[in-house]
A and B are shown apart, each in its own frame.
Chain A
Amino acid sequence: MTRLTDLGVTDLRDGIAKGDFSAREVAENFINATNEAEKLNAFITLTPDHALKQAEEADKARASGQLKALSGVPLGIKDLFCTNGYRTTAASKIIGNFVPPYESTITEKLFAAGAGMIGKLNLDQFAMGSSNETSAFGNVISPWRQKNDDAALTPGGSSGGSAAAVAAKIIPAATGTDTGGSIRQPASFTGITGLKPTYGRCSRFGVIAFASSLDQAGPMARSVKDCAALLEVMAGFDPKDSTSADVMVPNWEKLLSSDIRGKKIGIPKEYRVDGMAPEIESLWQRGIQMMKEAGAEIVDVTLPHTRHALAAYYIIAPAEASSNLARYDGVRYGERQTPEGSNLADMYSATRAAGFGDEVKRRIMIGTYVLSAGFYDAYYIKAQKIRALIARDFEAAFDKCDLLLTPATPTAAFALGQKQDDPIAMYLNDVFTVPASLAGLPAMTVPVGLNDQGLPLGLQLIGKPLDEQSVLNAGLALEERAGFTSQPEKWW
Chain B
Amino acid sequence: MSVINASIVRKIAKLACIAVTEEEVTAMVPELNAILGWGEQLAAINTDGVEPLTSVIAQSQRLREDEVTVPDIRDALLANAPEAEHGFFTVPKVIE
Contact = CB atoms under 8 A, between A and B. Distances in A.
Interface string B14-31: 111111100000001001
Contacts of A93: none
A2 interface: no
Interface in B29-83: 31-32, 34-36, 38-39, 41-43, 45, 47, 50-57, 59, 61-62, 64, 73, 76-77, 79-83
B32 A366 contact: yes
Interface string A346-377: 11111011001000011011101110100100
A344 to B, nearest CB: 5
Nearest to A312: B42
B13 interface: yes
A343 B94 contact: yes
A330 B54 CA distance: 30
Nearest to A246: B62
B56 A199 contact: yes
B52 A368 contact: no
Interface string A372-409: 10010011011111111101000000000000000000
Nearest to A305: B45
B87 interface: no
Contacts of A343: 92-94
A382 to B, nearest CB: 5
A102 B73 contact: yes
B34 A368 contact: no
Given A334-B80, A352-B19, A424-B35, 20 more contacts: A99-B79, A101-B80, A213-B55, A311-B38, A312-B39, A312-B42, A332-B81, A333-B81, A352-B16, A365-B28, A366-B36, A369-B4, A372-B15, A375-B2, A378-B1, A384-B53, A385-B47, A385-B50, A387-B52, A439-B56
A30 to B, nearest CB: 30
Among the interface residues A353, A362, A365, A375, which one has the most CB atoms of the partner chain B within 10 A?
Answer: A365
Interface secondary structure of A, over-half rule = helix
Contacts of B35: 314, 362, 366, 423-424
Interface residues of B, number: 52
Nearest to B47: A385
Contacts, number: 162
Contacts of B3: none
Interface stretch (A136-144, A148-156, A179-187, A237-245): A237-245
B81 A365 contact: no
Nearest to A350: B19
Contacts of B52: 381, 384-385, 387-388
B31 A347 contact: no
B13 A365 contact: yes
Contacts of A356: 18
Q: What band does the interface of chain A fall in when counting residues whose beta carbon is under 8 Å from B?
A: 35 or more
B6 interface: no
Contact of A338 (B14, B45, B92): B92
Given A344-B92, A387-B53, A332 B19 contact: no
B91 A101 contact: no
A366 to B, nearest CB: 6
Contacts of B1: 378
A98 to B, nearest CB: 6
Contact of A423 (B9, B31, B76, B83): B31
A-B pairs with lowest CB-CB distance, top 10: A440-B56, A384-B52, A101-B76, A336-B82, A388-B53, A353-B19, A385-B47, A349-B19, A333-B80, A368-B16
Nearest to A334: B82
B38 to A, nearest CB: 5
A312 B42 CA distance: 7
B94 to A, nearest CB: 5
11 contacts: A101-B80, A213-B56, A312-B39, A322-B16, A334-B80, A336-B83, A346-B92, A365-B28, A370-B39, A378-B1, A383-B39
Contacts of A423: 31, 34-35
Given A101-B73, A423-B35, A365 B19 contact: no
A332 B77 contact: yes
A314 B31 CA distance: 13
A419 interface: no
A440 B16 contact: no
A386 B43 CA distance: 10
Contacts of A305: 45
B88 to A, nearest CB: 11
A105 B78 CA distance: 22
A362 B17 contact: no
A372 B12 contact: yes
A332 B35 CA distance: 32
Contact of B81 (A239, A331, A350, A381): A331
Contact of A331 (B19, B50, B57, B89): B89
Nearest to A381: B52
